[in-house]
């Protein structure tokens, strides 16, 4: 989960790491402060992530490493905007945009027209490996290895109807376009598994003519075996979903997505739906996580480390897990309406906290008064302050104490 303040809602920039044995039940194992992780991969006994630092003085990225997902260290800082990382054939690649081709102005970016590639043999020491021309598009968005070669995707994400273009490389240094551009879709997370490739991309429907708002997007799945020819489908279970991560492992595919109708897409108030597929074509909902997805990957953790657990049974039963953001410890929790109001304001939400509030064991709920209606908000006490949580997700996870649950989950 990547929690960002770039939407102006006042949350601290950080990434929260969750693990799951089955894709349904998720447990938080670490918080990585001041880093917005964009991609994550496992290989050769370690995890590697690429992250955009919350230091906005200049465009730069950090490459992070971990052996157990709990403790992270910075392996390298590069003067580019990295978005993807992958491992294959004994080599790591990290890909993205050049620094002078990326702009944080209003969160928008003109196409950079070229991609940067960094390489490492051990995940610790990194060197530039290539600059790749991507005419009319951004740099590489995603990268993966399989079938003896690398694939990377690119698109002009802020240009309407810009297709996804696939690039292929045998060594990570020399790259060439692979197959025809994939029209009607944008971004594109690529992964390899079970002898084939999958790309999860978002549709590029035109804006709603009546409201002028962006159209609700769907997730499309591109399937291929040779990286030249692709079969595109729009699974019914992924309609109205915006994809943010794709991975293969344990004999199946997992996809993380958010409701594409949300106006604060990819920011801190969104909940991630985790979908699963045995063939990468037919998808069903497996679980949910309370937060916006930054990256999704399959790998291993050191035995006995946080997040590791005995192998699941053949039919694992989902268990309730607490939402992201901390332990929720209640020591010193200020249960006043004024404290909850500060949390509501910090989250950029409107309304006034009413008097009908309940508080217990690091959780609180309160009615929020609006000019013509009342809503219900749920809060968790994290690191000395209240944070707003997704009420639907929290109630579905059944983690609220008895003193809070009825008011939070049984109201309109």
Delimit the domains of the chain by residue range.
2-289, 337-409
Distance CA 307, CA 19 (A): 6
Q: Which fold has domain 2-289?
A: Neuraminidase (2.120.10)
Burial degree of 277 (CB within 10 A; 0-12, 13-18, 19+): buried
Q: Among the listed ranges 58-62, 140-144, 185-189, 305-309, which one has the minimum average pLDDT value?
A: 305-309
Predicted confidence (pLDDT) per residue in 74-93, tens digit: 999 999 999 999 999 999 99
What residues are paired with 186 via a beta bridge? Answer: 202
Distance CA 335, CA 347 (A): 17
Predicted confidence (pLDDT) per residue in 342-364, tens digit: 998 888 888 899 877 889 888 89
Stated pTM of the model? 0.72
Predicted confidence (pLDDT) per residue in 193-252, tens digit: 999 999 999 998 776 677 766 678 899 999 999 999 999 999 999 999 999 999 999 899
| Helix/strand/coil percent split, the chain, to 5 | 10, 45, 50
Residues 6+ apart with CB under 8 A from 195: 147, 225
Distance CA 316, CA 24 (A): 9
Distance CA 380, CA 346 (A): 14
């Amino acid at each position: 989960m990547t929690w960002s303040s770039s939407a102006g809602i006042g949350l601290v920039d950080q990434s929260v790491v969750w693990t799951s044995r089955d894709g349904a039940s998720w447990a938080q194992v670490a918080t990585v402060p001041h880093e917005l992780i964009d991609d994550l991969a496992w290989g050769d006994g370690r995890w590697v992530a690429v992250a955009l630092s919350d230091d906005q003085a200049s465009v730069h990225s950090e490459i992070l490493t971990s052996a157990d997902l709990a403790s992270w260290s910075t392996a390298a800082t590069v003067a580019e905007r990295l978005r993807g990382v992958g491992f294959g054939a004994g080599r790591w690649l990290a890909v993205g945009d050049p620094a002078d081709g990326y702009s944080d102005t209003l969160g928008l970016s003109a196409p950079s027209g070229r991609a940067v590639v960094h390489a490492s043999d051990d995940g610790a020491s990194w060197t530039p490996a290539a600059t790749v021309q991507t005419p009319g598009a951004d740099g590489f968005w995603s990268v993966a290895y399989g079938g003896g070669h690398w694939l990377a995707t690119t698109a002009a994400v802020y240009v309407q109807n810009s297709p996804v273009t696939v690039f292929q490389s045998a060594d990570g240094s020399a790259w060439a376009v692979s197959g025809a551009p994939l029209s009607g879709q944008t971004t594109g997370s690529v992964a390899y598994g079970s002898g084939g490739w999958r790309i999860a991309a978002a549709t590029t429907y035109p804006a709603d003519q009546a409201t002028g708002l962006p159209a609700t997007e769907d997730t499309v799945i591109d399937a291929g075996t040779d990286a030249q020819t692709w079969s595109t489908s729009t699974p019914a279970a992924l309609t109205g979903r915006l994809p943010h991560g794709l991975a293969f492992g344990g004999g199946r595919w997992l996809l993380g997505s958010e409701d594409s109708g949300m106006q604060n897409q990819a920011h801190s108030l969104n909940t991630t739906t985790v979908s699963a597929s045995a063939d990468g074509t037919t998808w069903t909902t497996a679980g949910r996580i309370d937060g916006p997805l930054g990256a999704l990957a399959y790998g291993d953790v050191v035995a006995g480390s946080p997040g590791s657990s005995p192998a699941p049974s053949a039919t694992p039963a989902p268990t309730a897990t607490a939402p992201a953001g901390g332990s929720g410890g209640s020591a010193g929790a200020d249960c006043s309406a004024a404290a909850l109001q500060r949390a509501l304001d910090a989250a950029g939400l409107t309304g006034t906290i009413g008097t009908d509030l309940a508080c217990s064991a690091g959780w609180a709920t309160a009615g929020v008064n609006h000019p013509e209606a009342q809503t219900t908000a749920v809060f968790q006490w994290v690191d000395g302050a209240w944070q707003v949580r997704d009420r639907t997700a929290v109630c579905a996870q059944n983690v609220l104490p008895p003193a809070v649950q009825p008011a939070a989950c049984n109201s309109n």
